[in-house]
A and B are shown apart, each in its own frame.
Chain A
């Protein structure tokens, strides 16, 4: 272990490169930081941001209406008290999972291909968590009293009900938001220092400087930094799994047929990764095209993500199969009815579309040619996003609409305010994403430097002329 070059043996099997040819420390730095440092805001960015911002205003309107009138505007009723809000919550939390997963698990597995997508995916995580957390809060009815969910000493002398998965959810989602934020931020510190050093405007030097906390790239700091980052990854991995498991407990701990199923935790986690990777593909394919990042987010990245999509899609399909099989195997009346109603009842269209999107469509990914076709992949990723939303809709709505007693059955449809809130949450997500793309290095620069062939880095560097 005397020299680091020991790790860079040629692998016998040729693989597509992770980064385009001809880059070194300096050019990698310049290429990524230029996107942030550029004075001119691209026109397409402005257009995209304007659309996203308009959608965000729709969200504001919808929330305003909700606060004035009450949760009734959402079309929720008895027995379907959970409606679109909880569907959206689960959908967004699911999407949030890919980010931490790409960062943490792939780091632990020494998968270097994560480097060019992890920052981006982590940012996506944060914004998706923000969108997700909003829904249960608004669904409380009196969101301004949300702090009642936390165990704090109060004059009423009562505590939250810790046997309820809804309280577990509060802890899980807030822990997840906190840990993803610090994971993302810790990953950003060295790059913020780069932007601080390369920026020519005093204001941005100050702002980036404050957030870089005086990072100077000391070898001793790097050592502790790497340890901390690795430990965070080790902690974040089980955390991701636990969060969506807790979300699944929201359903599975209850005894409603269609909810009370022991496979829910792993099946929800797989579904989360499935939809999360789909969302990473949906966003990164146009972004890499637009910013010309094909050298960093290569075909191999897309191919690998497609494989993850296929694998997790298979686990989700396994979940559907087990639910259906066990309902018939056990011979119980209620579970069997629940499955039959899904297949043939009021919500059957949703059910069959979701099966097509989540089970049939991903099977095309077995074919290498399709995995390598960027735009087919993009369409598949969108279909998976749609399928996963419908899956949550069927689980939430159909199960509640048809519980044990026929006299309480009632069908549910969302109102236009539901649609507005959902679209608005996409607006919130996109607004944050556009701001991120413009103001934060979207690819981890210091980790990219590690991918560059070591030898040519200094030879090509002409540092003296760089600083004005």
Chain B
């Protein structure tokens, strides 16, 4: 078997379909959003956050697997690198939000600032120029690391160089630190500041864990689809599937742990600046969404992923991953929307249109990146290891 096989042809059809869906969705957005720009920006923010989560998460998991190793990292490496490279697309797709800042954030609206003493106290940090400087800074870091990770990966494809392994590790350690910090501050800027008086010191971590979880879910679906053929069919042994399932299980548990910790602390404290965040997210229909999240973001995937049979069977693992991905979308909605719509629960047509629009572009770009290089890095030392193992089977 050779690692040089690239993406099956039918993926080009996926790509065209995704692109088409994106065009249709964006035309819809243009019509509906033109009449209701406020709603457009709200929906767009939500859709953007969901998809950039997978892009950032991919870069993080690439670095994580460079640091800790393991066959699962080899199987996911190319899809993850492609996911990270979509950050270039996400940088361009940020442009609409530049125009949306005034529509979205109270702290960017002069009349709101004039009325509120508290908001003015926060404006040393929450002001438009500084906001844009920070956005530029985050993307500079994210793109720099994506660029290096991609470039070195290409170098490695061309020639096996043992020194590259060390180079990846030297980059990945500080890279994870920097990503942790930038993603935390981005989550504060983009989401937490929608409700400026509310703060939670664990918020950034919840965000990071959620992003990694949706990344894992998405990438597991991708490799399961690819695993019908070589080379991934060889790589996705029962043991690797078990590892992937356990990894997802770990992040499901971590997410629940962080979410419950925040709930216990804020619920018990019951302070006027903090508790409204939960009151908004549990009022009326939102309460049902919260129960749905507790069940499908934790209990059900947790119980399913405990079973070895589920983790070993590829299609079942893929199905659980699909469920987790969808629930993550709902979770993003639950985090973002109640802060914006202060009059109850609503799903607007634009919410769907933007998710499909941004998502279509994202998926098309992702497949384009995936096509360009062999599906398994041929000179990754772990590949040789997997050949030895396969020989023993």
Q: Interface code A362-379, partner B: CB below 8 Å = 1, 0 otherwise?
A: 000010000000000000
Answer yes or no: B138 CB below 8 A from chain A CBs.
no
Answer yes or no: A163 CB below 8 A from chain B CBs.
yes
Q: Interface code B288-304, partner A: CB below 8 Å = 1, 0 otherwise?
A: 00000000000000000
> Considering the chains assembled together, what is the distance between the CA atoms of A330 and B122 in angstroms?
6
Q: Decide if A261 touches B122 in the complex (CB within 8 Å).
A: no
Contacting residues, chain A, for B197 (C-beta < 8 A): 330
Chain A proximity of B301: nearest CB distance (Å): 16
Which of A10, A255, A263, A264 has the most chain B CB within a 10 Å cutoff? A263
Task: Name the interface residues of A252-270: CB closer than 8 Å to any CB of B.
Answer: 252-255, 260-266
Q: Interface code A2-13, partner B: CB below 8 Å = 1, 0 otherwise?
A: 000010011111
> Considering the chains assembled together, what is the distance between the CA atoms of A113 and B104 in angstroms?
52
Contacting residues, chain A, for B262 (C-beta < 8 A): 262
Chain B proximity of A316: nearest CB distance (Å): 13
How many A-B residue pairs have C-beta atoms within 8 angstroms? Tell me. Answer: 88
Q: Decide if B199 touches A252 in the complex (CB within 8 Å).
A: no
Which residue of B is nearest A164, CB measured? B268
| Given A262-B202, A331-B118, also A252-B273 (CB < 8 A) | no
Q: Decide if B199 touches A330 in the complex (CB within 8 Å).
A: yes
Task: Name the interface residues of A237-281: CB closer than 8 Å to any CB of B.
Answer: 238, 241, 245, 249, 252-255, 260-266
Q: Decide if B381 touches A12 in the complex (CB within 8 Å).
A: yes
Answer yes or no: B315 CB below 8 A from chain A CBs.
no
Answer yes or no: A225 CB below 8 A from chain B CBs.
no
Q: Decide if B125 touches A328 in the complex (CB within 8 Å).
A: yes
Q: Decide if B258 touches A249 in the complex (CB within 8 Å).
A: no
| Given A253-B269, A255-B269, A322-B184, also A266-B261 (CB < 8 A) | yes
- Which of the 9-residue segments B128-136, B223-231, B358-366, B385-393 touches chain A? B385-393
Which of B118, B201, B262, B389 has the most chain A CB within a 10 Å cutoff? B201
Chain B proximity of A54: nearest CB distance (Å): 42
CB < 8 Å neighbour of B180 from A238, A262, A318: A318
| Given A12-B385, A255-B271, A322-B184, also A329-B199 (CB < 8 A) | yes
Answer yes or no: A323 CB below 8 A from chain B CBs.
yes
Interface size of A as a range: 35 or more
Q: Decide if A238 touches B253 in the complex (CB within 8 Å).
A: yes
Main secondary structure of the interface of B (DSSP, over half): helix
Task: Name the interface residues of B161-210: CB closer than 8 Å to any CB of A.
Answer: 165, 173, 177, 180-181, 184, 188, 197, 199-205
Contacting residues, chain B, for A254 (C-beta < 8 A): 269
CB < 8 Å neighbour of A323 from B201, B203, B264: B201
> Considering the chains assembled together, what is the distance between the CA atoms of A245 and B381 in angstroms?
39
> Considering the chains assembled together, what is the distance between the CA atoms of A183 and B107 in angstroms?
54
Q: Decide if A262 touches B265 in the complex (CB within 8 Å).
A: yes
> Considering the chains assembled together, what is the distance between the CA atoms of A162 and B197 in angstroms?
30
> Considering the chains assembled together, what is the distance between the CA atoms of A263 and B209 in angstroms?
14
Q: Decide if A249 touches B265 in the complex (CB within 8 Å).
A: yes
Answer yes or no: B384 CB below 8 A from chain A CBs.
yes
Q: Decide if A241 touches B257 in the complex (CB within 8 Å).
A: yes
Contacting residues, chain B, for A90 (C-beta < 8 A): none
Which residue of B is nearest A238, CB measured? B253
CB < 8 Å neighbour of B202 from A10, A263, A321: A263
CB < 8 Å neighbour of B266 from A12, A262, A266: A262
Closest 4 CB pairs of A and B: A331-B121, A263-B201, A265-B261, A262-B202
**Extra A-B contacts (20), CB below 8 Å, given A12-B382, A163-B268, A265-B258:** A9-B389, A165-B268, A241-B257, A249-B264, A252-B265, A253-B265, A253-B268, A253-B269, A261-B265, A262-B200, A262-B201, A262-B203, A262-B262, A263-B200, A264-B201, A265-B265, A266-B258, A322-B202, A326-B200, A330-B197
Residues of A whose CB lies within 8 Å of any CB of B are 6, 9-13, 163, 165, 238, 241, 245, 249, 252-255, 260-266, 314, 318-319, 321-323, 326, 328-332, 366
23 contacts between A and B (CB under 8 A): A6-B389, A9-B385, A12-B382, A13-B381, A163-B268, A238-B253, A241-B257, A245-B261, A249-B264, A253-B264, A253-B265, A253-B268, A253-B269, A262-B201, A262-B203, A262-B261, A263-B201, A264-B265, A318-B181, A321-B181, A322-B184, A322-B204, A329-B122
Residues of B whose CB lies within 8 Å of any CB of A are 118, 121-122, 125, 165, 173, 177, 180-181, 184, 188, 197, 199-205, 253, 257-258, 261-262, 264-266, 268-269, 271, 273, 381-382, 384-385, 388-389, 392
